[in-house]
């Protein structure tokens, strides 16, 4: 797998897993935020309720007291009652005068030093400026949050006589426990959901990309030179269906184009071949015409050498006619390419028989196997061998001592035949043209022999290659699949 460019299946899989993880994290964050907000609202509302209840209780004490409802009498009015109120409402109570001086507190005497005996000016200013005459101050100490509310106490005549201070500790132990318990349950649920998501992501990514994999394999196997299969996929999405239809339409167009191209190439090849044949035929026609015209001018029945001259003219005509017949034969053999008549035969034996027609001592045959049985066409196998040997003989210059080596053997599941000559070799410029029809470096012939050999070999799904060095010679190698 390429980690720099992961496949679509991997990206879908990772995306779905990340989506589940992000969703779980987001829900956990929302849950924590919601618990924090609920705790905050709970403490604020609880403090308001406590404050309202304590003020109601204080007003009751003020109504029942025998002291005058003045600031100076606050310590006497709430002498013991302030402790009862604090116990009933489970909250510390501090009473200050209007200037912010401590008058009375429910705190024990041993810790009274920890209570502010005088309020800050900011508290007094905020309290007096607040439209609802209430001020709440929040502080944090030792990791805990404290709220301290300040409000006025009025006498029965709506006259302010004191400031009520209620210190309140935000105890979040309950909410924290609830939150931790909720997160544990949420984590367990999402753990199982995560496992299920992995399985679903794997199956879904495989299902989504299965059609694309099929299309990719078909496109990879698409070839211009062969018939391509169309894609048939059932129960797929509209997008994949559109892609498949486009591919199938492209295959139809490709086949039409291939047919037209092949037809055009065949027509062009035959046009070129016809030009070559016409050219080769015209070459012997010219000397034939000149010979006939010369014979016509110089013919003299009374000439004592008339029979010798007739023989000379006849030989000239026969030579040129043979040349034309050879041209026609080569063209006919290349054009016909008779259908294969496969039979079970011994390749070693058939190659030996093909070499017997040459009967030259410099043609040497070797074989790694005593017999190689295969299904081949006897005539076409002989044609391959004779054409390669003939091509090797013609490549040897007259001044050189001919040496042709023909070898047969097996390479795995393939049969090979090699023909090695010590001819002039093939130049780098001519190597790409060796198997082209009508290409030849000889002064005679049409250059159809190697093209015909290549055609036969490829018919058997074989291969023909060669290696050559100028001045050293050439080695042609033919391989066929071994089928019995």
Domain chopping of the chain, boundaries: 8-176, 238-334, 339-481
Q: For the segment 64-78, what is each residue's pLDDT rounded down to a tens digit?
A: 888 888 888 888 888
Per-position DSSP letters for 314-369, written without gaps between them: HHHHHHHHHHHHHHHHHHHHHHH-PPP-EEEEEHHHHHHHHHHTT--TTEEEEESS
Quick check: 323 pLDDT over 70? Answer: no
- Under a CB-based contact definition with an 8 Å cutoff, are residues 57 and 85 in contact? yes
CA atoms of 138 and 118, how far apart (whole Å): 18
Model-level pTM greater than 0.75? no
Residue whose tokens read 């100076």: 72
pLDDT score of 110 = 45
Quick check: 113 pLDDT over 60? Answer: no
CA atoms of 139 and 169, how far apart (whole Å): 10
CATH fold for the domain made of 339-481: Heat Shock Protein 90 (3.30.565)
Highest CATH level, class, for 8-176:
alpha beta
Mean pLDDT of 465-483: 88
Quick check: 135 pLDDT over 70? Answer: yes
Q: For the segment 336-374, what is each residue's pLDDT rounded down to a tens digit?
A: 554 567 788 898 988 888 887 776 888 899 998 888 888
Which residues lie below 8 Å from residue 364, measured CB to CB, with a gap of 6+?
Answer: 403, 404, 405, 406
Adjacent-strand bridge partners of 101: 118
CATH fold for the domain made of 238-334: Helix Hairpins (1.10.287)
Residue 364 main-chain phi, psi, to 5 deg? -110, 135
* Residue 87: exposure state from Cβ atoms within 10 A (0-12, 13-18, ≥19): exposed
3-state DSSP call for residue 57?
A: helix
Residue whose tokens read 């065949």: 266
How far lies 418's CA from each of 356, 406, 462, in Å?
17, 6, 14
- Under a CB-based contact definition with an 8 Å cutoff, are residues 96 and 82 in contact? no
pLDDT band at 443 (very low <50, low <70, confident <90, very high): very low
Quick check: 251 pLDDT over 50? Answer: yes
CA atoms of 336 and 199, how far apart (whole Å): 63
CA atoms of 372 and 351, how far apart (whole Å): 11
Q: For the segment 393-436, what is each residue's pLDDT rounded down to a tens digit?
A: 888 888 888 899 999 999 888 899 999 999 888 888 888 877 77
pLDDT band at 126 (very low <50, low <70, confident <90, very high): confident
Mean pLDDT of 151-175: 81
């Amino acid at each position: 797998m390429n980690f720099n460019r992961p496949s679509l299946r991997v990206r879908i899989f990772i995306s779905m897993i990340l989506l589940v993880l992000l969703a779980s994290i987001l829900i956990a964050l929302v849950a924590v935020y919601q618990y924090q907000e609920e705790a905050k609202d709970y403490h604020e509302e609880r403090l308001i309720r406590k404050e309202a209840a304590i003020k109601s209780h204080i007003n009751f004490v003020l109504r029942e007291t025998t002291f005058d409802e003045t600031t100076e009498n606050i310590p006497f009015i709430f002498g013991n009652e302030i402790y009862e109120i604090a116990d009933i409402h489970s909250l510390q109570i501090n009473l200050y005068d209007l200037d912010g001086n401590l008058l009375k507190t429910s705190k024990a005497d041993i810790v009274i030093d920890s209570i502010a005996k005088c309020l800050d000016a900011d508290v007094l200013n905020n309290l007096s400026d607040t439209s609802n005459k209430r001020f709440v101050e929040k502080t944090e100490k030792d990791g805990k949050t404290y709220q301290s509310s300040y409000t006025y106490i009025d006498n029965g005549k709506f006259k302010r006589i004191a400031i009520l201070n209620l210190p309140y500790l935000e105890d979040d132990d309950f909410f924290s426990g609830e939150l931790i318990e909720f997160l544990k349950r949420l984590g367990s649920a999402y753990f199982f959901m995560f496992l299920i998501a992995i399985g679903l992501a794997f199956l879904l990514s495989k299902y989504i990309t299965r059609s694309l994999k099929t299309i990719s394999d078909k496109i990879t196997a698409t070839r211009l030179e062969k018939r391509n299969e169309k894609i048939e996929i059932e129960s797929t999405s509209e997008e994949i269906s559109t892609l498949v239809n486009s591919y199938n339409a492209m295959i139809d167009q490709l086949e039409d184009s291939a047919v037209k191209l092949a037809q055009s190439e065949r027509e062009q090849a035959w046009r070129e071949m016809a030009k070559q044949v016409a050219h080769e035929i015209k070459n012997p026609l010219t000397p034939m015409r000149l010979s006939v015209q010369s014979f016509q001018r110089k013919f003299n029945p009374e000439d004592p050498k008339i029979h010798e001259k007739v023989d000379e003219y006849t030989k000239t005509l026969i030579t040129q006619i043979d040349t034309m017949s050879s041209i026609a034969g080569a063209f006919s053999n290349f054009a016909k390419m008779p259908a294969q008549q496969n039979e079970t035969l011994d390749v070693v034996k058939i190659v030996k028989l093909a070499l017997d027609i040459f009967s030259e001592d410099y043609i040497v045959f070797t074989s790694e196997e005593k017999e190689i049985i295969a299904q081949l066409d006897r005539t076409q196998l002989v044609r391959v061998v004779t054409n390669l040997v003939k091509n090797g003989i013609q490549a040897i210059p007259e001044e050189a001592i001919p040496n042709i080596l023909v070898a047969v053997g097996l390479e795995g599941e393939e049969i090979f035949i090699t023909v090695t000559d010590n001819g002039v070799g093939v130049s780098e410029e001519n190597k790409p043209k060796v198997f082209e029809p009508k290409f030849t470096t000889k002064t005679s012939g049409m250059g159809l022999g190697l093209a015909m050999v290549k055609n036969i070999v490829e018919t058997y799904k074989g291969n023909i290659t060669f290696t050559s060095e100028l001045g050293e010679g050439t080695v042609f190698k033919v391989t066929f699949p071994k089928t019995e």
